[in-house]
Amino acid sequence: MAEKYILVTGGAGFIGANFVLDWLGNESAAIVNLDKLTYAGNLGNLQSVRNDPRHLFVRGDICDPGLVTGLLERHRPSAIVHFAAESHVDRSIHGPEDFVQTNVVGTFRLLEAARAYFSKLSAAEREAFRFLHVSTDEVYGNLGPGDPAFSESSPYAPNSPYSASKAASDHLARAYFHTYGLPIVTTNCSNNYGPYQFPEKLIPVVILNALAVKRLPVYGDGKQVRDWLYVNDHCGAVRLALAKGKLGEVYNVGGSSEQTNITVVEQVCAILDELRPRPSGKHESLIEFVKDRPGHDRRYAIDASKITRELGWKRTESFDSGLRKTVTWYLDNTDWVAAVTSGAYRHWIDTNYAGR
Ligand code: NAD
Ligand code: DAU
């Protein structure tokens, strides 16, 4: 291989773009970034590397076998890091088909292309090659209040069309390791937050609504629990799993930072009260409890002791420090916010929140 590449899918989305930036700042290999640029993909996330010769952006679909095969043959990557997905649970409830198409069929097509490519590599190249499959804690389903956190041996019990499609992709990845010997490592991560998150997910919805003096919609009683991880810590875990993960293994990644949704919203409000006080009152007065998400999982929590013990991973950001950084980022990046909240975004907000 003349020049060393990795292929990243979905590298213009929230976590993918953070990963691309993190990778280029820490590693020597170049990136081929394959992204379809759906509503969630945004080249504005990659502005800072637009002139970096180590970043090659390709607009395209992971479901297109000819395109993927051509990229593998042309750039001969030593790894595939697979982020591309439809990622929003609420959208999967309104329209599950895209989730099956990209998350299940797309992952299958990518695995097939990787399998054909892998079979033609030299012994040394095969030894080095990795397929890193990025997945979610949602595949494990719902925890009761006293249940132990999800471990890598927790049974799969997905409850939303999104998590079912991710679970299917995990099973395909697992099967390609066991059946064909494709060198797969899978990570299952908890809720990410941080810069460049599309404002359909809880934390950016709350920040931007609060700034616009709109209601802060909290589903149901707001006592659902999520385990929050700053996105850069997730990126570090993926790099580590790629470098040192054992083939065929799964690594859970989480923030050890369980929070109820209402607490998260209150903390965002408190930071905004400090950084952007409202003359007419505290931001939390905008909180409104709205109709719950159907099939809403009550609690997720990740036991990340395996990746800590075996690969030496540790989160670096606490929820307090990460949330403050995140709110500050949205306050400082008004152009980015203006660009993503125009047009189709407003249509989604009407679709999801109008009846609530
Ligand atoms: P995102 O929705 O912000 O980004 C997804 C990206 O994939 C977008 O750039 C989109 O254009 C691209 N994409 C979608 N369909 C595609 C296709 N058919 N071909 C090529 N590109 C396509 O998602 P995210 O939050 O960054 O999540 C990335 C990955 O991490 C997903 O696999 C998700 O399941 C997983 N994950 C997310 C979280 C989280 O909290 N956001 C937590 C754990 C795991
Ligand atoms: O757990 C990992 C998962 O985290 C990822 O696999 C998904 O891709 C990612 O979207 C995220 O899923 P969630 O459904 O947990 O994220 P979301 O930000 O949509 O919601 C977080 C919690 O907040 C959830 O309990 C629903 C609630 N919520 C969400 C929104 C958008 C609200 O109360 N109000 C809202 O307006």
Q: What is the pLDDT of residue 3?
A: 66
Which atom of ligand 1 lies at the shortest distance from residue 102's CA?
18
Q: Token pair 């509503």 is at which residue?
A: 39
Distances (CA, A) of 88 to 118, 252, 269, 271: 32, 20, 23, 26
Whether 353 sits among the annotated catalytic residues: the reply is: no
Find the ligand nearest to 10 CA: 1
Q: What's the whole-model pTM score?
A: 0.98
pLDDT digits (tens, 9 = 90+) for 25-47: 999 999 999 999 999 999 999 99
Find the ligand nearest to 231 CA: 1
Q: Considering 138, 170, 233, 303, which one is annotated as catalytic?
A: 138
pLDDT digits (tens, 9 = 90+) for 190-225: 999 999 999 999 999 999 999 999 999 999 999 999
Beta bridge partners of residue 193, listed in sequence order: 230
Instruction: For residue 111, give the H/E element and its range.
Output: helix 107-119
Determine contact, residues 229/190, Cβ cutoff 8 Å.
yes
Q: What is the pLDDT of residue 1?
A: 39
- 6 residue type, one letter: I
Contacts of 347 (CB under 8 A, 6+ apart): none
Whether 138 sits among the annotated catalytic residues: the reply is: yes
pLDDT digits (tens, 9 = 90+) for 283-296: 999 999 999 999 99
Which segment of 1-10, 106-115, 238-247 scores lowest on mean pLDDT?
1-10
Pocket probe for ligand 1: among 9, 81, 87, the residue whose CB has the most ligand atoms within 8 Å is 87
Which atom of ligand 2 lies at the shortest distance from residue 296's CA?
25
Nearest CA to ligand 1 atom 44: 136
Whether 200 sits among the annotated catalytic residues: the reply is: no
Better pLDDT: 346 or 263: 263
Which atom of ligand 1 lies at the shortest distance from residue 62's CA?
19
